[in-house]
């Protein structure tokens, strides 16, 4: 499969870093970004000079690969917006943090003539925007692919991510969403709730230990991206929140009852689980 | 106040590091550690050669300063065990993470002739044991002192911590326990509960993002120390757990109801609070 033009729709941290990484590792590719507004155009043009397009149809009609690097719902919307223009045979990828809703939308909205390969590079950041992007952003991280390993287009996508320094893991969309709910979506829900529950006045900031900062770093994560992640993985997330609440309640009940042995047992179990990670 | 002999009861990470830091910064001090068992004696003697005592009475009877670096309940027990032997005029400090219970026990058990100064160096670690200690462990961190700033013995203790590179904050015991419940004890309760609620099978370990590791680092913290912290700060901790559970529930309810605007508002509020930290 000969790739000449790559289009990236969504040029924030993930999409911007992908553009820079592709230009570094595949100098023959013609890498284009999309900017919806004049303001975004100016911002993105600094990083992809002369390679920013404001017309979606024009951007994708001759693109051999199209990456959607947007929040989940925006990806689904842009599948619909681009469906009529995508080039037959093009490979279409997304970089979203939940995969079942995207896979369903791909089946529903994308033309049969394009090849969809769902991807989730596990290297998000609480920072956002092309200003924080870099060509080595993907280096050393894991990329989940939800498409079948044996398909020709999957192999092309694997090669591309591997060239950017990623390790590939094949996980079906449904299982991906179950696992990432616990490993990532629940921790984000907890971190957002922790900073909302505990007031820190400026005069007490010196009393905040490093562990607080580690626990709340991800509470900076963007509302647009995370609202969509929570809603598109609702069932798994609510199940994991319930499990977590039950575990915390068990600890609280033991503290309230003054059950020293039980609390020790709970913490030792946590220590033991930690060791296996 | 002339200090010749310093006794440290509890030679794990905190006490061991204190011994090494004092020997480095105050070469004239005669710094002694306590070891209850023969096995502990051998371990500690490597770090404080010839300066480990197994008899509590002998250790403290001529000590000008005595530091208690043990879990909260063990400190209270050792106040009672040493009370008869402490030298009149000696300065007694503790390094525990909760202060009200210790202050109460100091009033109840320590002889009137000694001067108690409650301390909490905010530089714990999820690691424990003298093996992880070092002379610069306290460098650059904050030390909370709960005693009155104007007292002579407080000034001596301040000078000592400052010489080890610490910044002093004066906070009354009751307020310390309220604040640290939210900043530290609640995050630990959450981290222990998170690792217990989410199963990570060995074959999925590659799918665990860095944010998980940041959130669960403190789930390694020791059961002996943390059981005592939770129990000795029960009232504040239970209140903070309730506040946190309510915040998480508010998010869960919004996710369940599919309230996009409400979820965005919750996350934006979390982002805003985070910025003020």
**Nearest-neighbour CA in chain B from A184: distance (Å):** 6
What is each CA distance from B144 to A233, A276, B241, B277, in whole angstroms?
A: 43, 35, 24, 19
**Nearest-neighbour CA in chain A from B210: distance (Å):** 8
Could you say which DSSP state residue A228 is in? H
CA A43, CA A48: separation in Å to the nearest integer? 9
B263 and A202 within 8 Å at the Cβ level: the answer is no
B97 neighbors B118 (Cβ within 8 angstroms) = no
**Nearest-neighbour CA in chain A from B231: distance (Å):** 6
Q: What number is the average pLDDT over the span B111-118?
A: 98
Sheet of strand A167-170: strand arrangement: A52-53, A30-34, A5-9, A65-68, A91-94, A115-121, A142-145, A167-170
Task: Work out the angle at residue B8's Cα, subtended by the Cα atoms of residues B4 and B10, and round it to the nearest 5 degrees.
Answer: 175
What ipTM, to 2 d.p.?
0.93
A125 neighbors A102 (Cβ within 8 angstroms) = no
A124-143 b/e with 16+ CB inside 10 Å = b? Answer: bbbebebeebebebbeebbb
**Nearest-neighbour CA in chain B from A221: distance (Å):** 7
**Nearest-neighbour CA in chain B from A61: distance (Å):** 33
CA A205, CA A213: separation in Å to the nearest integer? 11
Q: Which residues of B touch A249 (CB under 8 A)?
A: 245
**Nearest-neighbour CA in chain A from B236: distance (Å):** 11
Q: What is the largest CA-CA distance in chain B?
A: 68
| Least CB–CB distance from B179: residue in A207, A222, A246 | A207
Tell me the domain boundaries of chain A.
5-171, 175-276
Domain A5-171 in CATH 3.40.50.720? The answer is yes
Q: What number is the average pLDDT over the span B91-98?
A: 97
CA A88 distance to own-chain centroid: 27
pLDDT at A127: 82
Q: Which residues of A touch B124 (CB under 8 A)?
A: 209
pLDDT at B224: 94
Sites in chain A below the pLDDT cut of 70:
1
Q: What number is the average pLDDT over the span B56-75?
A: 98
Among left, alpha and beta (phi > 0; psi -120 to 50; other), residue B10 is left
Instruction: Tell me the pLDDT tens digit for each residue of B179-226.
Output: 999 999 999 999 999 999 999 999 999 999 989 999 999 999 999 999
Residue B127 pLDDT class (50, 70, 90 cuts): confident
| Least CB–CB distance from B183: residue in A196, A209, A245 | A209
SS3 assignment, position A33: strand
**Nearest-neighbour CA in chain A from B141: distance (Å):** 9
Q: Which residues of A touch B240 (CB under 8 A)?
A: 197-198
Q: Which H or E run contains A46?
A: none
| Least CB–CB distance from A190: residue in B190, B246, B273 | B190
Domain A175-276 in CATH 3.40.50.300? The answer is no
| Least CB–CB distance from A183: residue in B186, B198, B271 | B198
B231 and A260 within 8 Å at the Cβ level: the answer is yes
CA B122, CA B184: separation in Å to the nearest integer? 10
B120 neighbors B97 (Cβ within 8 angstroms) = yes
Strands B167-170 and B142-145: parallel
CA B25 distance to own-chain centroid: 22
A255 neighbors A261 (Cβ within 8 angstroms) = no
Q: Which residues of B touch A238 (CB under 8 A)?
A: 252, 255-256
DSSP string, chain B: ----EEEEE--SHHHHHHHHHHHHH-TTSEEEEE-SSHHHHHHHHTTSTT-EES-HHHHHHT-SEEEE-S-HHHHHHHHHHHTTTPPTT-EEEE--S--HHHHHHHHHHS-TTSEEEEEEES---S--SGGG--TTTTTT-EEEE-S-TTSHHHHHHHHHHHHTTPEEEE--HHHHHHHHIIIIIHHHHHHHHHHHHS---GGGGGG--HHHHHHHGGGGS-HHHHHHHHHHTHHHHHHHHHHHHHHHHHHHHHHHHT-HHHHHHHHHHHHHHHHH-
Q: Which residues of A touch B214 (CB under 8 A)?
A: 214-215, 217-218
- φ, ψ of residue A163 in degrees (nearest 5): -65, -25
pLDDT at B128: 86
pLDDT at A246: 98
B267 and A221 within 8 Å at the Cβ level: the answer is yes
Closest CA in chain A for residue B264: A223
A190 and B189 within 8 Å at the Cβ level: the answer is no
* pTM summary value: 0.94
Q: Which residues of A touch B72 (CB under 8 A)?
A: none
H helices of A26-151, in order, are 38-45, 56-61, 72-82, 100-109
pLDDT at A276: 84
pLDDT at A2: 87
| Least CB–CB distance from B211: residue in A187, A265, A270 | A187
Q: Which residues of A touch B188 (CB under 8 A)?
A: 211
| Least CB–CB distance from A255: residue in B209, B237, B271 | B237
- φ, ψ of residue B239 in degrees (nearest 5): -65, -45
């Amino acid at each position: 499969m000969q790739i000449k033009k790559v289009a990236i729709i969504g040029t924030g941290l993930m999409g911007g870093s992908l553009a820079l990484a592709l230009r570094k590792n595949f100098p023959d590719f013609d890498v284009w970004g999309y900017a919806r507004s004049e303001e975004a155009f100016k911002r993105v043009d600094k990083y992809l000079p002369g390679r920013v397009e404001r017309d979606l149809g024009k951007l994708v009609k001759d693109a051999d690969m199209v990456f959607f690097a947007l929040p989940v719902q925006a990806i689904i919307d842009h599948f619909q917006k681009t469906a009529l223009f995508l080039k037959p045979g093009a490979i279409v990828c997304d970089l979203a943090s939940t995969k079942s809703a995207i896979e369903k939308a791909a089946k529903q909205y994308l033309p049969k003539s394009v090849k969809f390969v769902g991807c989730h590079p596990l290297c998000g950041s609480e920072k956002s925007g092309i200003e924080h992007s870099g060509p080595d952003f993907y280096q050393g991280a894991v990329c989940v692919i939800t498409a079948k390993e044996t398909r020709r287009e999957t192999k092309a996508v694997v090669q591309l991510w591997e060239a950017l320094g990623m390790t590939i893991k094949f996980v079906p969309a449904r299982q991906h969403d179950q696992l990432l709910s616990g490993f990532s979506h629940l921790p984000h829900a907890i971190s957002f709730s922790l900073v909302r529950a505990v007031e820190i006045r400026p005069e007490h900031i010196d009393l905040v230990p490093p562990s607080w900062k580690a626990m709340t770093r991800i509470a900076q994560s963007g509302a647009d991206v995370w609202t969509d992640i929570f809603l598109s993985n609702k069932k798994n997330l609510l199940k994991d929140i319930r499990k977590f609440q039950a575990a915390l309640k068990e600890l609280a009940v033991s503290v309230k009852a003054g059950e020293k042995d039980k609390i020790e047992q709970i913490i030792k179990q946590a220590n033991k689980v930690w060791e296996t990670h």
